[in-house]
Amino acid sequence: MPAPGSNVYLNPFESLRHHLSEDLAALSKTLDTPTRNRDLISKDLSDCAKDLDTLVERAKSAQENDRADVPSCLKKRCELLQEVMIALSDALRETDRMVSRAVLMMGHLGSQIGRLTLHAHDSRVDIFARHCDDFSLAEMKWVRPSTTCGEAAERAFDVLGAKWALLDLAVDGCDCLQCETRRRRAGGTASVIDYTIIDEEEVDFFRENLVGKCRKQRRDKVNERTKDD
């Protein structure tokens, strides 16, 4: 059952956020199959990145209508997500050397999108965002492929190297619950699972424990909502 005060019906912001978060999980799953079409997945990923503009507009509209306590970090985080998603899309199009880690990165990005919320200071209202926030705290480190992959791919790797870790940091000047959690973590007063993907065995572990759980979480949430209806 949803927590007291939770919204059973999705507003336009939440509806698009769910859609994008699910899309990222689905793209991750598709990339993880032998029949994958990297070009198509790369294009879909860049389309999802563009849709984040609409998500920002919907948050702005909710705030203007005084229906939301929008975190001041939301726009900046969406811009950062866009940069990372475009770079990952470029890297995927240019090389097949990072498919396994891209599967996990897209699962992680699904959680990062899922934690975007209209409720800066009350985690009880938006359960989906709270769960995705929990998952996104399992910090995933970017590791550059050890082989050279051509100029365009290397440029994309540079962007991922510069921006990926920022997804998990607090945004300056924002006092939302999620940013405060990250400040406590940086100060050593909150626990965090920290991992770096190095080999295929680890990839399998995280596929099961992170991507799999994220998908299950979303399935449970959908089932819960269906039951309430």
Task: List interacting residues with Zn ion (CB under 5 A).
Answer: 71, 73, 174, 176, 179
Residue 71 or 107: the one with the smaller Cβ distance to Zn ion is 71
Residue 153 or 176: the one with the smaller Cβ distance to Zn ion is 176
Residue holding tokens 């336009």? 12
Residue 172 or 201: the one with the smaller Cβ distance to Zn ion is 172
Residue 87 or 176: the one with the smaller Cβ distance to Zn ion is 176
139 SS3 class: strand
CA distance 201 to 115: 28
Residue holding tokens 């926030």? 133
Q: How far is the CB of 59 from Zn ion (least distance, A)?
A: 12
Residue 104 or 132: the one with the smaller Cβ distance to Zn ion is 132
140 SS3 class: strand
CA distance 2 to 228: 9
Q: How far is the CB of 72 from Zn ion (least distance, A)?
A: 6
Residue 44 or 180: the one with the smaller Cβ distance to Zn ion is 180
Q: Six-digit token pair at 196?
A: 């770096």
Residues 95-124 as b/e (b if ≥16 CB within 10 A, e otherwise) read bebbebbbbbbbbbbbbbbbbbbbbbeebe
Q: How far is the CB of 176 from Zn ion (least distance, A)?
A: 3
Q: Are 14 and 128 in contact (CB under 8 A)?
A: yes
CA distance 209 to 215: 10
Q: How far is the CB of 222 from Zn ion (least distance, A)?
A: 27
Q: How far is the CB of 130 from Zn ion (least distance, A)?
A: 14
Q: Are 89 and 105 in contact (CB under 8 A)?
A: no
Q: How far is the CB of 91 from Zn ion (least distance, A)?
A: 28
